[in-house]
């Protein structure tokens, strides 16, 4: 049985054809984020190109799965709200089903990434899994008894907005001290900005001041590799907060695995020691000693694979 899996990113739309556990075809195109019509046109284009590729090879497509960053009402197939796309109350499932003639399943991108980790990735075989995407922001997905946990409105598992430091730094969501405000790419960038404003001097801060727009967590990681103490301190502090957050998640969910993906894994070696130390010191022993904290093994394929698995699950 073959299905299409599509990951709608802020800048790129990626797609695959999955047959069994094999990726048979790929698709990648810029996302037209100028309007809701543009996004929907891009999604329809991704489906039709992958369906053409499948037809040429005699592969029969049975369904389409789609992962989108945002709040998704899975039952209705509606994207309620999306921070990076001009989608609001968008009936994505029905529109794509109409265009393709196939069953379509739509969910949050981190939810489907969690499904991919539990079925095919680092957490393969886990029935209880917590997944965190560590990028510009922090996304989350929760697998309970093998299935995605969505909550009453599909808005569950906003793990980046778990508060780990009361009265901590301001988060994009309007609260203070969220995990995302302390351990995401944006949070790390802000710490460098603050160090620069406070006149703290280090090679990383100098590079930041020379071109703030080009600076990223990856740049900071390179300075940490070269021995910059300030860079190492910022990354290990972010790691500490991440470990505190993971301890709370493990205490609540008693998962088999916590999996981590996203761009921050590039400098994660500077975060991991402090993360594990905070985690070990905070989590309840029975859950702590059972869980494995693992890096994703799926790389950039986590989103598309998860979307394809969502489609397979929808068919079963």
In the complex, minimum distance from the CB of residue 81 to Zn ion, in angstroms, rounded to a whole number: 15
In the complex, minimum distance from the CB of residue 13 to Zn ion, in angstroms, rounded to a whole number: 26
In the complex, minimum distance from the CB of residue 182 to Zn ion, in angstroms, rounded to a whole number: 10
In the complex, minimum distance from the CB of residue 262 to Zn ion, in angstroms, rounded to a whole number: 17
Q: State how far the alpha carbon of 314 is from the alpha carbons of 98, 169, 208, 218, in Å.
A: 17, 40, 47, 38
Nearer to Zn ion, 10 or 83 (CB): 83
Which residues lie near Zn ion (CB under 5 A)?
161, 171, 173, 175, 178
In the complex, minimum distance from the CB of residue 176 to Zn ion, in angstroms, rounded to a whole number: 8
In the complex, minimum distance from the CB of residue 157 to Zn ion, in angstroms, rounded to a whole number: 13
Nearer to Zn ion, 86 or 169 (CB): 169
Nearer to Zn ion, 124 or 161 (CB): 161
Nearer to Zn ion, 173 or 186 (CB): 173
Nearer to Zn ion, 90 or 171 (CB): 171
Nearer to Zn ion, 171 or 275 (CB): 171
């Amino acid at each position: 049985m073959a299905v299409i899996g599509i990951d709608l990113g802020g800048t790129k739309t990626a797609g695959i054809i999955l047959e069994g556990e094999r990726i048979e075809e790929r698709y990648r195109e810029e996302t037209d984020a100028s309007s809701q019509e543009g996004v929907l046109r891009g999604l329809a284009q991704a489906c039709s190109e992958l369906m053409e590729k499948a037809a040429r090879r005699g592969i029969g497509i049975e369904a389409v799965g789609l992962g989108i960053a945002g709040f998704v009402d899975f039952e209705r197939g509606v994207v309620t709200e999306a921070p990076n796309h001009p989608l609001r109350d968008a009936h994505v499932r029905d529109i794509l089903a109409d265009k393709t003639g196939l069953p379509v399943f739509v969910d949050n991108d981190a939810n489907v990434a969690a499904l991919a980790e539990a079925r095919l990735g680092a957490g393969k075989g886990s029935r209880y899994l917590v997944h965190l995407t560590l990028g510009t922001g922090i996304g989350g997905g929760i697998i309970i008894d093998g299935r995605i946990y969505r909550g009453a409105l599909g808005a569950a598992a906003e793990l980046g907005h778990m508060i780990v430091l009361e009265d901590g730094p301001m988060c994009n969501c309007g609260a203070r001290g969220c995990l995302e405000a302390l351990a995401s790419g944006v949070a790390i960038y802000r710490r460098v900005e603050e160090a620069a404003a406070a006149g703290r001097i280090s090679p990383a801060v100098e590079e930041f001041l020379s071109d703030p727009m080009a600076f990223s967590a990856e740049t900071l990681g390179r300075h940490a590799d070269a021995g910059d103490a300030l860079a190492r301190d910022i990354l290990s502090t972010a790691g500490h907060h991440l470990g505190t957050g993971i301890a709370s998640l493990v205490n609540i969910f008693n998962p088999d695995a916590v999996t981590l993906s996203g761009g921050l894994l590039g400098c994660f070696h500077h975060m991991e020691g402090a993360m594990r130390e905070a985690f070990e010191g905070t989590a309840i022993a029975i859950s702590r000693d059972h869980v494995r904290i693992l890096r994703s093994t799926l790389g950039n394929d986590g989103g598309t694979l998860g979307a394809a698995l969502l489609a397979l699950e929808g068919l079963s």
